[in-house]
Amino acid sequence: MDGPGDSDLIRTEGEFRGCGPLIPPLSESTRPLRQQIFERVRAAGLMPRVQVARELSVSPATVTTLTSELIESGLLVEVAAPRETESGRGRPAVALGVRADAHLVAGIKLSDREHTAVLVDFAGNLIADEAIARHPNAVGVDDLAEATLTLLNRVCAKAGLTRSQLTAVGLAVPGYVDSATGIVHWSSVLQVRQVPLARVVSARLGLPVHIDNDANLVTLAELWFGAGRALADFAVVTIEHGLGMGFVINHRIYRGGRGIGMELGHTKVQLDGALCRCGQRGCLEAYVADYALVREATTALNWTGRESQSVTVILESLFDHAKAGNQAARSIFRRAGRYLALGLANVSNLFDPELIILSGERMRYDYLYAGETLAEMKTLMLDTGRPAPRVEIHAWGDLLWAHGAAALALSEVTEGLMGAARDPFAGP
């Protein structure tokens, strides 16, 4: 099949940085071949056809046929790639890239303090971002749907777009979330349980909405845009108002058999222990998360008169006291750090990840991951004679979580466009 003339080639590379998992060549996959081609091109940013054929171990003719279909569908474009030779004569080298304006999606993170949103194009490039404060008393389903609509309208206006120009929205919510059904079984941002939040918000926005636990989506952000792109297996532990975890196995998010696994914060570390916000006692979260530190500070420092202050203000004050040498404040952080070390050791013993990323706003409080905390994690791990997993600290804000929600939307849109399509090269 003849390609386009030189004048038809896109000659800029600014939009082709790449996003998504960088999966090794010849990895087994059950996804349709056209989807594998598209995802490899998107992950690389730019990729020649010959490299696509080599990495997927298929014939160049097959790649040419399928990429031509993807170009005709408006999902891929041909890009004039730079030549390595000095002369630069002759027909320019051609690579494939994702057509960035093929689809636009939004990612939204709903939290206990602030709601954030990003708009990204189909190549994963950021178009605009926005944030609004959460109304302190707005925890009803209708309140949350209205706040989502307000935030989405604002970020669209900032980008000079309308909601109708979007293809889908990804939504990150704390708590027990069944991504497949769109049901939130419990969340700290809702007064009620068993809420079909994806359906409710979709009706309010007039757009398809895909939802997941926020820890899964910050993990997806690392998988698509961050440190986990080239890793097959890694964990992300998030510490903010709660304690969450996401886990990647073989370049894919693992959600468990019923879709709500990896709840590290609600593993039990003390029988009949401290009360967790989930209603049970002895959860790891009840010793490490924001409200746990505030509870300890109220008792140990006799801060009973600070009920009217926000959690953030109390935590900042506690941290300032610890930095100034207050032993009671330091002991609160050390105790939380020891429980965190216990949780990380359990993750290592269970899953043996290549990397553990500690993420969330509370990573600014370095007492939580001080040297002695990470050293204690190693003493609590099985002594196999092998090195402990690497631990990295990523103190990103809520925009990272929103990027993960956008990655969910991109993934679902891609799956919808290509996952169910007939693939003549897939076999019976």
At residue 313, the pLDDT reads 86
With a cut of 70, which residues of the chain have pLDDT below it? 1-15, 26-29, 81-92, 136-138, 307, 367-369, 395-398, 419-428
Residue 129 lies in a domain: yes
Containing structural domain, residue 91: 6-100
Residues 49 and 65 in one domain: yes
Report how many domains make up the chain: 3
Are 108 and 210 within one domain? Answer: yes
User: Model's pTM, two decimal places?
Assistant: 0.85
In a domain, 423, yes or no: no
Crossing angle between the packed helical segments 214-225 and 398-414, to the nearest 10 degrees = 80
Q: Choose one of 46, 79, 100: the last residue of a domain.
A: 100
- For residue 252, being part of any structural domain is answered with yes
Same domain, 146 and 93: no
Token readout for 128 is 């605009």
Q: Residue 428: what pLDDT?
A: 36
The per-residue pLDDT for 89 is: 58
**Predicted pLDDT of residue 374:** 84
Long-range contacts of 320-329, Cβ-Cβ distance < 8 Å, separation of 24 or more? 322/367, 326/301, 328/300, 328/301, 329/297, 329/300, 329/301
Q: Do 24 and 119 lie in a common domain? A: no
Q: Do 307 and 352 fall within a single domain?
A: yes
For residues 369, 372, 374, 378, the Cα torsion angle rounded to the nearest 10 degrees is -160
The rounded distance, in Å, linking the Cα atoms of 218 and 221 is 5
Q: How many CB atoms lie within 10 A of CB 5?
A: 8
* Cα distance between residue 133 and residue 148, in whole Å: 11
CA distances to 84, 178, 189, 341, 383 from 112, rounded to whole Å, are 52, 19, 6, 25, 39
- Is 26 inside any structural domain? yes
3-class secondary structure, 427: coil
**pLDDT number for residue 21:** 85
Residues 276, 326 share a domain: yes
Whether 420 is covered by a domain: the verdict is: no
pLDDT for residue 291: 87
Q: Which two tokens stand for residue 255?
A: 């959600």
In this structure, the answer to whether residues 135 and 243 fall within a common structural domain is no
Residue 421 lies in a domain: no
| Domain boundary residue, one of 38, 67, 100 | 100
What pLDDT was estimated at residue 7?
45
Residues 311 and 355 in one domain: yes
Tell whether 235 and 376 lie within a shared domain.
Answer: yes
The interaxial angle of helices 33-44 and 60-72, nearest 10 deg, is: 80
Element (H, E) at 322: helix 311-323
| Domain membership flag for residue 281 | yes
Report if residue 118 sits inside a domain. yes
What is the pLDDT, as a whole number, of residue 6?
46
Residues 320 and 201 in one domain: no
Shared domain for 258 and 365, answered yes or no, is yes
Question: Amino acid identity, residue 96?
Answer: L
CATH of the domain at 322: 3.30.420.40
On whether both 249 and 119 belong to a single domain, the answer is no
